[in-house]
Structure 1
Amino acid sequence: MFTDIVLFTLVVGIGSTIALDLWGVFTGKIGWMPGTHWPSVGRWIQGLPAGRLVFDGSDTRPFTASEAATGWIFHYLIGLGYALVIPLVWGTDFIAAPTFGPFFWIGIVISTLAGLVILMPGMGGGVFARKLPNTAGMIAYVLVAHVVFAIAQYLLALMLS
């Protein structure tokens, strides 16, 4: 049972996060929006203990390897966390017979809201991207990216079952 949860979390968490990253590369190449700049997120996270709750972009120094690593590690830990929530909430039997519902709630609803009400404001874009010039476009991008994430979670879970 424990090993099933660990395997599920690793495969679904890492695999779906990779799918999300590939989606960001793809959308950047077609000119929609690039994926999240994780070194910026790393700078934001590293500034939190010093009371810098919002990344305002005024620090124009080049990003450090530590900031990049912090951002990327944070990103993958979040993906692992979302994957872990699924068997913890829906039970370990879910691993053998996954359905799309939990991936809808965790992979789309919760992760999209987290992006729009935690990460977006933390990165200076305001709640629901209200401080950005293309609020509706950013919300659409975040939503579609998390649909890709949830579909990848579900397909990876099916592959494991």
Structure 2
Amino acid sequence: MATELIIFILVVGIGSTIVLDLWGVFTAKIGWMPGTHWPSVGRWLLGIPAGHLVLDGTDTRPHTLSEAAVGWIFHYLIGLAYAVSFPLFWGIGFISAPTVFPVFLIGVIVSSLAGLIVLMPGMGGGIFARKLPNAGAMIVYVLVAHVIFAIAQYLLALLLA
């Protein structure tokens, strides 16, 4: 069972995060919204210990390799954490019989709220993107992206079941 658990976490966590990234590439290509800039997230995360809780846009230095690595690793660790939450909160049986409600709750609600009330403010956009000129469009983008993410989580979980 431990092997099944590890495979579930890796496939669902990494696979759905890849799908989310592909969605970001697609939306950027069609000119809707660019995906999250993970090197900037890395800069934000690395600045937190020094008391820089919000990126203010004044740091125009090129991003470093370490910032990019931290941002991308963080992104995929979060995807893995969401995958861990299914068997953790709904039991190990979720792996063999995934259901829609947990995936909707974690994949859409929790992940969207995390983006809109933690990541967005940290990146300087304010809670629910209120500091951005396109706040409404950004909220819609986040919700649609996380619906895509949740669909990927569910389909990958079904594939493994």
Class of the TM-score when normalised by the shorter of the 2 chains: over 0.9
Q: Give the equivalent residue in structure 2 for 1:38.
A: 38
C-alpha separation in 1, matches of 2:7 and 2:98? 14
Q: Give the equivalent residue in structure 2 for 1:82.
A: 82
Size of the aligned set, in residue pairs, is 161
Is 1:64 the counterpart of 2:53? The answer is: no
Give the Å deviation of 1:5.
Answer: 1.6
C-alpha separation in 1, matches of 2:6 and 2:36? 27
Give the Å deviation of 1:2.
Answer: 2.1
Question: Deviations along 1:23-49, whole A, 9 cap, x unmatched?
Answer: 000000000001000000000000000
C-alpha separation in 1, matches of 2:43 and 2:65? 10
Q: Give the equivalent residue in structure 2 for 1:151.
A: 151
**One-letter code of the match for 2:35?**
G
Give 5+ residue unaligned stretches, structure 2: none
**One-letter code of the match for 1:123?**
M
Q: Give the equivalent residue in structure 2 for 1:105.
A: 105
**One-letter code of the match for 2:87?**
P
The CA RMSD over aligned residues, in Å, is 0.6
C-alpha separation in 2, matches of 1:90 and 1:122? 30
Give 5+ residue unaligned stretches, structure 1: none
C-alpha separation in 1, matches of 2:28 and 2:61? 24
C-alpha separation in 2, matches of 1:42 and 1:86? 27
Percent identity between matched residues is 73
Question: Deviations along 1:92-132, whole A, 9 cap, x unmatched?
Answer: 11110111111000000000000000000000000000000
